[in-house]
Amino acid sequence: MKILRRLLKERELLNAGFTNKIIQNEMGKLLEIENLTKFYTSGYILTEKKVAVDNVSFSIKKSEVFCLVGESGSGKTTIGNIVLRLLKPTSGKILLDGRDIYSYDKKTYWRKVQAVFQDPYSSFNFFYTIDKPLHDAFHLLEKRSSREERKKVIKATFEKMGMNPDEIMGRYPHQLSGGQMQRILIARSFILHPELLVADEPTSMVDASTRVSVLNELLRLKEQEKLSVLFITHDLAQAYYIGDRIAIMQKGKIVESGLVEEVIFEPKHPYTKNLIKSVPPLHEKWKL
């Protein structure tokens, strides 16, 4: 209970200004995942099957942050990559706006569904300034734009995020901090005004003080731009801070799910209870 009280206090402090946490049930579903299963196979003759995701179903509403929480190896990234169409499911169905995700052409789909990955540096080429991937983001749009037009949009996006474009544009990745890089990636994903953002451990490479600003940025996008987020983390404290609903994963299965408050304050599954016991405070230095 001590941990829960501390969590609650932290959230009150940090979450000030974000009052719109309560889910509006009447809101429509954006993403629906039904009976998703993924096997990885290895070997040629005696093939071995590894069940990474085992019959998982959940849905994400419009303007909702849905968190997948579980220890390493529980299948979270596999689900994220399947939703991003980077990986094909073995079986199951995924709908976006009521349509099978494979019925969209790739460009259209990736305009609607964008990603922010764990390691922001991996998304940038060290030989180029960070302007290049920002301009490249526009390739997914139908309409061609001039460099000047693109620059305007990029600048406006940074300004909206409370970042000074002059301190960012024209820089090389090594000149920027992990936290700045991660926020640039969020800005990049948002250039396209996606409907869904898949954020896979987006704060794991940033320091504790920046972590909160990354989470706050996602909350702002959710509320002001009606963005939906599939937030993947092994850290229950972050899920509690940012999430509307939460699903706890263990060995490829969802063992418990519901409103964040319900799952965290009235956990039913022993695995969830254990996770709650081992929650690190949000401000504590990251334990890797």
Q: What is the 3-state secondary structure (H, E, C) of the chain?
A: CHHHHHHHHHHHHHCCCCCCCCCCCCCCEEEEEEEEEEEEEECCCCCEEEEEEEEEEEEEECCCEEEEEECCCCCHHHHHHHHCCCCCCCEEEEEECCEEHHHCCHHHHHHHEEEECCCHHHHCCCCCCCHHHHHHHHHHCCCCCCHHHHHHHHHHHHHHCCCCHHHHCCCCHHHCCHHHHHHHHHHHHHHCCCCEEEEECCCCCCCHHHHHHHHHHHHHHHHHHCCEEEEEECCHHHHHHHCCEEEEEECCEEEEEEEHHHHHHCCCCHHHHHHHHCCCCCCCCCCC
For helices 147-160 and 178-191, give the axis angle rounded to 10 degrees.
120
CB atoms within 10 A of CB 144: 8
Nearer to ligand ADP, 154 or 197 (CB): 197
Site for Mg ion contains 182 (CB under 5 A): no
d(CA 103, CA 70): 30
Beta carbon nearer to ligand ADP, 73 or 133: 73
Residue 183 binding: pick among ligand ADP, Mg ion, none (C-beta 5-8 Å cut-off by kind):
none
Nearer to ligand ADP, 77 or 257 (CB): 77
233 binds ligand ADP per the rule CB under 6 A: no
Binding to Mg ion in span 233-252, by CB under 5 A: none
Residue 55's nearest CA partner among 77, 33, 32 is 33
Minimum gap (Å) between residue 53 Cβ and ligand ADP: 7
Residue 271 CB, shortest distance to ligand ADP, in Å, is 13
CB of 230 to ligand ADP, least distance (A): 12
Stretch that binds ligand ADP, among 21-29, 71-79, 256-264, 275-283 (CB under 6 A): 71-79
Strand partners, 114: 197
Which residue's CB is nearer to ligand ADP, number 50 or number 152?
A: 50
The residue from 77, 180, 189, 216 that contacts Mg ion (CB under 5 A) is 77
Whole-number minimum distance, CB 70 to ligand ADP, in Å? 6
* Of the residues 7, 61, 67, 76, which one makes contact with ligand ADP according to CB under 6 A: 76
- Name the binder of 258 from Mg ion, ligand ADP, none, CB < 5-8 A by kind: none
Can you tell me which of 52, 101, 227, 230 binds ligand ADP, judged by CB under 6 A? 52
Q: Is 50 in the site for ligand ADP (CB under 6 A)?
A: yes
* Count of all residues that appear for the chain in the document: 288
Q: Does 49 sit near ligand ADP (CB under 6 A)?
A: no
Among 56, 61, 67, 74, binds ligand ADP (CB under 6 A): 74
**For ligand ADP, how many residues bind (rule: CB under 6 A)?**
11
Q: Does residue 203 touch Mg ion according to CB under 5 A?
A: no
Contact between 216 and Mg ion per CB under 5 A: no
> Residues in the site for ligand ADP, rule: CB under 6 A?
40, 50, 52, 70, 72-78
> Residues in the site for Mg ion, rule: CB under 5 A?
77
